[in-house]
Amino acid sequence: MDVHNAFLHDDLHKEIYMDIPPGLQRQKENIVCLLQKSLHGLKQASRQWNEKFTKALTSNGFLQSEHDYAFFLKRKGNSFIALIIYIDDILITGNDEVAIKSLKEHLNKHFHIKDLGEPKYFLGIEIARSHIGISLSQRKYVLELVSDSGLSGCKPSAIPVKQNSKLTTQEYDKVASSIEIDPPLEDASHYQRLVSRLIYLTMTRPDISYAMHILSQFMHGPKHSHIDPAIKVIKYLKGCPGLGLLLPRNADLDITANCDSDWGTCPMTRKSLTGFCIKLRGVLISWKTKRQSTVSLSSAEAEYRAMTKTTCEITWILRLLGDLGVQVKGPVQMYYDNKATNDIATNPVFHDRTKHI
């Protein structure tokens, strides 16, 4: 299939020139109007834009996916077209060049679009195609991040985060019967801007997902002990800026999942940590590191909750692939490492240890 990249320019994004209200007499030249309310950036603006774009596609025979509202499909005989949109950037793929060309002409009637051809750079992601498959990386983004941080000449780090790293929001940390003061950062925006840029990088770098889970917990009030781990992540990225994801051309369409949990890992709330990764054709397509919403009373309970989150993600992926008409070999294999969890899943007997789950 050929993939095409396009950029939309809607009438809402054009510059608007206001006329002088009727009845107003000009007493001086170059008078201006006092703005009472913003014309752009309203709460309903994004909803109105999505509604307008959806109507333009549905009028052309497209169906909006029930599992991802930014995903549209059109099938007619052997012709197949898929489209995904992010704000005003869209990707179009399909097996019918004539239908794709007709779609572009249809969109150009409703919006002002710019056809960028085969995508090589989309939303900060570098796309490279070869006979092996498609490679996704953010190398340019990483190099700009390292340069802006002033760490171009630093020594790279072998790991993104120290093992058993426990960051807290406490002002005083008792270590070896001594008290160390950990005051808040004078400029919190520096830490917030740095972590926000690193979070965007996790789209193609699952290796820093756990580190960003830790650092993102302190965006509201970062302290001096939090900035050093963030710098360590950048030093790690400096040593491997070109790492990314490779989507091979030929492989079996099977899905496998791995899930795990860390019981009571949060030192502030004692909540457990859920981590999972899901592979299609042996390639990562979904991953997450997230703190659980409730406190687990045992490691088996924490593992069971991690399995639940992983199962929900697998269900969503299977339904999304079903919209694409992709038949996945089943059942999906999920790997975990807790015998008690396996016993509960195999024989869910009601007793005191599981009735609260």
Distance of CA 123 to the CA centre of its chain: 11
In the chain, % helix, strand, coil (3-state, to 5) comes to 35, 25, 40
Peptide bond into 331 cis (omega under 30): yes
Whole-number pLDDT of residue 14: 46
Q: Under CATH, which architecture does the 2-119 domain have?
A: 2-Layer Sandwich (3.30)
- Does domain 251-346 sit in CATH 3.40.50.620? no
Task: Kindly give the parts of the chain with pLDDT less than 70.
Answer: 1-21, 23-31, 35-41, 170-181, 251, 350-351
Whole-number pLDDT of residue 20: 66
pTM equals 0.79
Residue 262's nearest CA partner among 289, 285, 232, 287 is 289
Whole-number pLDDT of residue 28: 61
Whole-number pLDDT of residue 172: 44
Q: Start-end ranges of CATH 3.30.420.10 in the chain?
A: 251-346
Whole-number pLDDT of residue 237: 92
Q: Start-end ranges of CATH 3.30.310 in the chain?
A: 2-119
Cβ–Cβ under 8 Å, residues 82 and 71? yes
Whole-number pLDDT of residue 221: 82
Q: Look at residue 114 and give its three-state secondary structure.
A: strand
